Amino acid sequence: MKIHKEGFGIIAIAALILGAIYTLNHVFLLHLLPWLYWILTLGCVVMLYLVVQFFRVPYREVNGGDDLVVCPADGKVVVIEEVEEPEYFKDKRIQISIFMSPMNVHCQWYPISGETTYYKYHEGKYLVAWHPKSSTENERSTIVVKHQTGQEILFRQIAGAVARRIRCYAKEGEKVQQGNECGFIKFGSRVDVFLPLGSEVFVKIDEKVTGKRSILGKIQQ
């Protein structure tokens, strides 16, 4: 387990603010209102813990394979449906959407190995992450990776009502490895993955999935 680099600044700011609150609490309430002192102290500890755990990055071995699409994020599957993908493919694909609560790990990983053929960041709205239009109207980053078979997998980082900061490390033309980190979304958010029609899908609605471990589907040969 380690702390993600995107969290260093936020954790430092949170520690300073909560440290100041605790100091004032200790000076003014320890002897005057000890019950309130202990409640506020506990609150400061819990808040700092929640901030730190949000930026945790667990050590995991990728549970994949050359013909498998591994889950790019932790969370719960909220959508599996055939949709029109308007940005890149402009045809019908199988969309698998994974909702991440603030308690989930918020790293994202490449679902397949190959070459990044497309990357684009979009400014947008901050609808709740499970809203049907969040995939096309919210702040988002779209990445497409081309597998050695020629199949392309598109996945999209989507900001939510709370998550308003997307970090994506993808670069067009870059060779990527399945399970390597590709980005981070701060606070509750969503990731959409688009598979070719006819792909085998190995997950179900409401299933809890784990990044780098759960298998979403199989690449068509």
Cα separation, 123 vs 24, whole angstroms = 40
Phi, psi for 162 (deg, rounded to 5)? -100, -40
Beta strands in 101-163 (DSSP E): 107-109, 114-122, 140-146, 152-159
Do residues 131 and 124 touch, judged by C-beta distance below 8 A?
no
Compute CA distances 93 → 12, 132, 191, 192, 206, whole Å.
43, 16, 15, 11, 20
CA angle 167, 172, 109 (to 5 degrees): 45
Torsion of CA 204, 141, 103, 38, to 10 degrees: -170
Cα separation, 73 vs 98, whole angstroms = 7
Active site residue 141: no
> Residue 184 pairs with which residues in a beta bridge?
107, 167
Q: Which of 97, 141, 189, 199 is catalytic?
A: 189
Catalytic (active-site) positions: 189
